[in-house]
Amino acid sequence: MHLKEGCSLLLKVRKPSIPFVLSTNPVPNLKAENEEKSSVLKEADVLRRLKHEHDITLALEYFKSIANSKSFKHTPLTYQMMIEKLASEREMDCVQYLLQQMKLEGISCSEDLFISVISSYRRAGSSEQALKTFYRMQDFRVKPTVKIYNHILDALLDENRFQMISPIYSNMKKDGMEPNVFTYNILLKALCKNNRVDGAHKLLVEMSSKGCDPDEVSYTTLISSLCKLGKVKEARELANCFTPSVPVYNALINGVCKEYKFKGAFQLLDEMMNKGIDPNVISYTTIIKALSDAGNVELSLAVLAKMFARGCSPNLHTFTSLIKGFFLKGGSHEALDFWDRMIREGVVPNVVAYNALMHGLCSNRSWGDAVSVFNQMEGNGCCPNVRTYSALINGYAKAGDLDGASEVWNWMITHGCHPNVVAYTCMVDVLCRNSMFNQAYCLIENMQVENCPPNTVTFNTFIKGLCGSGRVDWAIKVFDQMGNSGCFPNTTTYNELLDSLLKDRRFEEAFGLVKDMEHRGIELNLVTYNTIIYGYCCAGMLGEALELLGKMVVKGTKPDAITVNIVIDAYCKQGKVNIAIQLMDRLSAGKWHPDIIAYTSLISGICTHIGVEEAIGYLRRMLSEGISPNVATWNVLVRHLFSNMGHSGAVQFLDASSMMQPKFVVLILTKEAGGQLLSVSSMGSPVERAI
């Protein structure tokens, strides 16, 4: 197996800027010379030529040629046309050069020209350059208006430069300009994106008091933010203050769906229709997605039917949500049927839809089908992304298929797709499943070099692999190194280490980890409690186990069957069988019902400390509850029967006891020398087990 190393991201080479010089000497150019001779160049002709020239290099050559000739002197409009064309191609160095040239030539600039340049910087993700351009306006004696202030505020908002928005807004007010509805909407978005909904609500009130009526965008912005923060009730109250529109209702529906309050979502749909407002595809898809994610895909289909009845056609997101929902419920055939239906209806899948399909197929262990979809995806011109590759690698990892995972990894690197932390973690997983721990560790180290640091899940995957193969000492070293990588252990990390240490009966180290968890304030979950309680019981510390059980209940973690079985087994092994019986009887009176493990532990304890006949009573109770004894249960009984009654007595007793369940026949085979149980037959089906 070989994974391609080195820089896995093909760095995008920045295309060289177009050389730009406006010289004072004429540049020989046949077209320019002809135009100079004819002396008929007009501003409209130059604008038309520049507008219809789609090649930016040819447009710039033409612009330079007439600038260096005597046939035409560029005007503010021709400069603006050229600047806007350059800005659309993100040739911002040339744009700045032309602005400087206009200043030198004393050509006036309009506010619209600066708006074009600022908008270009915003699209390029350079709000700092947009701000510098804004401040250059005074050099051109251009006085800003509310319009350009809105554009610069919007550019800062796009990059979440919240700390710079307030000073610009203050400058705007100092310049004597009153904000309009667009200004307020930008400020509302900024406050909401910064989770300052209280401030946004105050701004909404201020907006109205100053005679600027909030519009649909204003209300939708604030209501969406309230819903995202879980303040759906406040959002509903605000929506009642005006006539809600479809976007507002969609925000409310999204809010209640996130809280899994589907009844509220249906009520909102009915409310819309009662008010004569038609829900759109977003309204229905939001509910369908939430239901599918919650595993209620059947109700999603009912919403889909209602959607069709209202004449609303599903879109790509609708189909993708249903496909994911069916896969989640294990309905791979239904998911594939909906995929085929989507294609038949002319809905073109995107990379998100393909990823959902491939992830579902991999989850259902259909690796070959997932690879076929991957090939189909590329054939349809849909470029796979890192999530696509990660889904395939994860599928191969869960199957333990190292060759398949490595092939996809190398294919990803070859095609210039940089692996993310998910892809790395999946490769670490498959390497650990194949006991290639050195290679897995090297891959983790490589993540730091590739500027993709491992996270806690990555380390947990590696630690789990080490613990599963008995390399707990190495796992502890990795645990100690986690902080150096900027991530810290969580409950899962400790659970893996505790389980492994306790299995090795390294109690002191395990209980030291428990203290470390408490010191770090890491919450214990049910698995942690069960693991620690089991460890205390194995170490003969039943008091500590019961004390921890009490803390567990007080903190709201409900014990499960595993917890109860551990405690019953511990009581029985310490000879406190009566307490174990009382515990089982008390819990049986509630919702908990003893299983085969609980009964086997109790029967073993009764046989050891009370007597076999009493144990037979619990065997009868067990059978009456429909629980069939397994080999371990019979082993316990037979051992004690041999020790208490001898060979012949045990055979007679078992023959008689087999009448308790007519279909249950016990066959005892003994060696001549030792009377050792070789096999037990359950309902005529032999189960070999040497003791």
Please state which of the ranges 341-350, 388-397, 681-690 shows the lowest mean pLDDT: 681-690
d(CA 597, CA 607): 15
* DSSP string covering 509-560: HHHHHHHHHHHHTPPP-HHHHHHHHHHHHHTT-HHHHHHHHHHHHHTT----
Name the region of 381 (left: φ>0; alpha: ψ -120 to 50; beta: rest). left
Dihedral, 472, 477, 483, 486 alpha carbons, nearest 10: -80
Contacts by 425-429, CB closer than 8 A, 24 or more apart? 425/454, 425/455, 425/457, 425/458, 425/461, 426/390, 426/393, 426/394, 426/397, 427/3, 427/393, 427/397, 428/458, 428/461, 428/462, 428/465, 429/394, 429/397, 429/398, 429/461, 429/465
Tokens of 655: 């023959």
pLDDT by residue (tens digit) across 490-514?
999 999 999 999 999 999 999 999 9
Residue 99: per-residue pLDDT: 83
Cβ of 13: how many Cβ atoms within 10 Å? 6
CB 169 within 8 A of CB 187: yes
* Predicted confidence band of residue 109 (pLDDT cuts 50, 70, 90): confident
pLDDT by residue (tens digit) across 65-82?
887 777 788 888 888 888
Whole-angstrom CA distances from 185 to 113, 152, 480 are 24, 14, 49
d(CA 637, CA 683): 17
Instruction: Name the average pLDDT for the chain.
Output: 82
* DSSP string covering 161-181: -HHHHHHHHHHHHHTTPPP-H
d(CA 579, CA 299): 48
Name the strand (E) or helix (H) holding 291: helix 281-293
Residue 207: per-residue pLDDT: 85
For residues 23-44, average pLDDT? 52
| 14 pLDDT more than 50 | no
CB 60 within 8 A of CB 18: yes
Separation of CA 176 from chain center = 47
Separation of CA 513 from chain center = 30
Which domains are delineated in the chain?
A: 561-688 (1.25.40.10)
Phi, psi dihedral angles at 681 (to 5 degrees)? -100, 125
Percentage of residues of the chain with pLDDT beyond 90: 24
d(CA 109, CA 118): 14
Neighbouring-strand partners of residue 688: 679
For residues 235-258, average pLDDT? 87
Whole-angstrom CA distances from 134 to 11, 113, 139, 344, 405 are 31, 11, 10, 51, 51
Please state which of the ranges 581-585, 596-600, 647-651 shows the lowest mean pLDDT: 647-651
The number of CA neighbours under 13 Å toward the Cβ of 47 is 10
For residues 364-372, average pLDDT? 82
For residues 406-420, average pLDDT? 89
Residue 648: per-residue pLDDT: 52
For residues 266-290, average pLDDT? 92
d(CA 192, CA 67): 49
Residue 118: per-residue pLDDT: 85
Q: What share of the chain is helix, strand, coil (3-state, %, to 5)?
A: 70, 0, 30
| 300 pLDDT more than 90 | yes
Which of 14-28, 256-270, 637-651 is the most confident on average?
Answer: 256-270
d(CA 83, CA 88): 9
Opening angle at CA 12, ends 10 and 14, nearest 5: 155
Residue 650: per-residue pLDDT: 52
Separation of CA 488 from chain center = 19
Burial environment of residue 425 by CB neighbours within 10 A (0 to 12, 13 to 18, 19 or more): buried
DSSP 8-class letter at 680: E
Residue 378: per-residue pLDDT: 77
| 117 pLDDT more than 70 | yes
Percentage of residues of the chain with pLDDT beyond 70: 87
Whole-angstrom CA distances from 145 to 154, 169, 175, 182, 375 are 14, 12, 9, 13, 54
List, in sequence order, every beta strand (DSSP E) within 404-463.
none
DSSP 8-class letter at 418: P
| 22 pLDDT more than 70 | no
d(CA 602, CA 219): 65
Tokens of 60: 């710039």
Residue 191: per-residue pLDDT: 87
pLDDT by residue (tens digit) across 632-684?
888 888 777 766 655 555 555 555 455 444 333 344 434 333 444 444 444 33
For residues 462-474, average pLDDT? 93
Query: Residue type at 271?
Result: E
Dihedral over Cα of 303, 308, 313, 319: its sign: positive
d(CA 572, CA 580): 6
Dihedral over Cα of 220, 224, 227, 229: its sign: negative
Phi, psi dihedral angles at 688 (to 5 degrees)? -75, 130
DSSP 8-class letter at 661: S
Phi, psi dihedral angles at 264 (to 5 degrees)? -65, -35
* Predicted confidence band of residue 531 (pLDDT cuts 50, 70, 90): very high
Name the strand (E) or helix (H) holding 665: none
Which of 241-255, 312-326, 622-636 is the most confident on average?
Answer: 312-326
CB 228 within 8 A of CB 262: no
pTM of the model: 0.67
Dihedral over Cα of 558, 563, 568, 570: its sign: negative
Residue 196: per-residue pLDDT: 87
